[in-house]
Amino acid sequence: MISQIKNIFFFILFSSFLPTSLLARDLVIKSLGHSSFLINSAEKSILINPFKAIGCASNLKEPKEVTADFILASSRLADEGYNPNNQLMFVDPGIYQFEDILLNGISVPHDRVDGRRFGMATVWSWEQNDLKIVHMGGAAGDIDINSQIILSRPDILFISIGGGIKSYDGQEASRIVKLLKPNVVIPVHFARGKKINKECDFSNADLFIENMKNFKVKYVGKDFQIKPKRIDQNTIYIFGN
């Protein structure tokens, strides 16, 4: 009995020095701009779509100094698969195992002509902190029924919404969201506010939001914590750049 009390005491003492996020097993999502995010949990750190500061990302700081356990990239294009430090990067479709994380990469057209212009993008699905996450930042084409089954009902869905030559527009993205039925949607590849960058072919988020009447919208900063057991339902998170 005394030994049990000592164990409890030392556990409480040790826990008091741990960050709250580790105790609560929060998922911490940090926006790096464009379609790039750093997703941190107590066990893993995953970098999504690091980019070179060109084109629509020309005014953003490259995440080349960001370190993670591994990278997930939609393709090897410079705006979503830039890897100057040669970190471990998964980019080709397939099933991979990294320690306790199973990664499922599915090939989807990167344009509206079955990939004939920009090739195929890889859509990633995995579980982290007991949350199913799907990243469709590089997709612009239709997904077949088998892919729908694999990707369906994620807790968090990253999806492009700004239109242009290799991104879903707001109406196309809303149709995909309704097919997959996620809890939380995080849009990428869109212009902020009403001012549109003339050097970029992205529109703002208005069309997407107009087509998502059943979803509430939350505007968050560059960092946001998600508690797995209290995750929002039918919510769009708009991250600031």
The domain of 24 spans 19-239
Does residue 124 fall inside a structural domain? yes
Does residue 4 fall inside a structural domain? no
Does residue 100 fall inside a structural domain? yes
pTM, two decimals, is 0.86
What's the pLDDT score for residue 199? 61
What's the pLDDT score for residue 139? 93
What's the pLDDT score for residue 165? 86
Does residue 12 fall inside a structural domain? no
Does residue 6 fall inside a structural domain? no
3-state secondary structure the chain: CHHHHHHHHHHHHHHCCCCHHHHHCCEEEEEEECCEEEEECCCCEEEECCCCCCHHHCCCCCCCCCCCCEEECCCCCCCCCCCCCCCCEECCCEEEEECCEEEEEEEEECCCCCCCCCCEEEEEEEEECCEEEEEECCCCCCCCHHHHHHHCCCCEEEEECCCCCCCCCHHHHHHHHHHHCCCEEEEECCCCCCCCCCCCCCCCCHHHHHCCCCCEEEEECCEEEECHHHCCCCEEEEECC
Does residue 172 fall inside a structural domain? yes
Overall domain count for the chain: 1
CATH number for the domain spanning 39: value is 3.60.15.10
Does residue 3 fall inside a structural domain? no
Cα–Cα distance, 18 to 34 (Å, whole number): 32
Does residue 11 fall inside a structural domain? no
> Closest by alpha carbon to 72, among 144, 125, 111?
125
pLDDT tens digits for 214-226? 999 999 999 999 9
The set of residues, in sequence order, having a beta carbon less than 8 Å from that of 33 and lying 6+ positions away, is: 51, 57, 60, 61, 63, 241
Query: Residue ranges of the chain with pLDDT lower than 50?
Result: 1-24
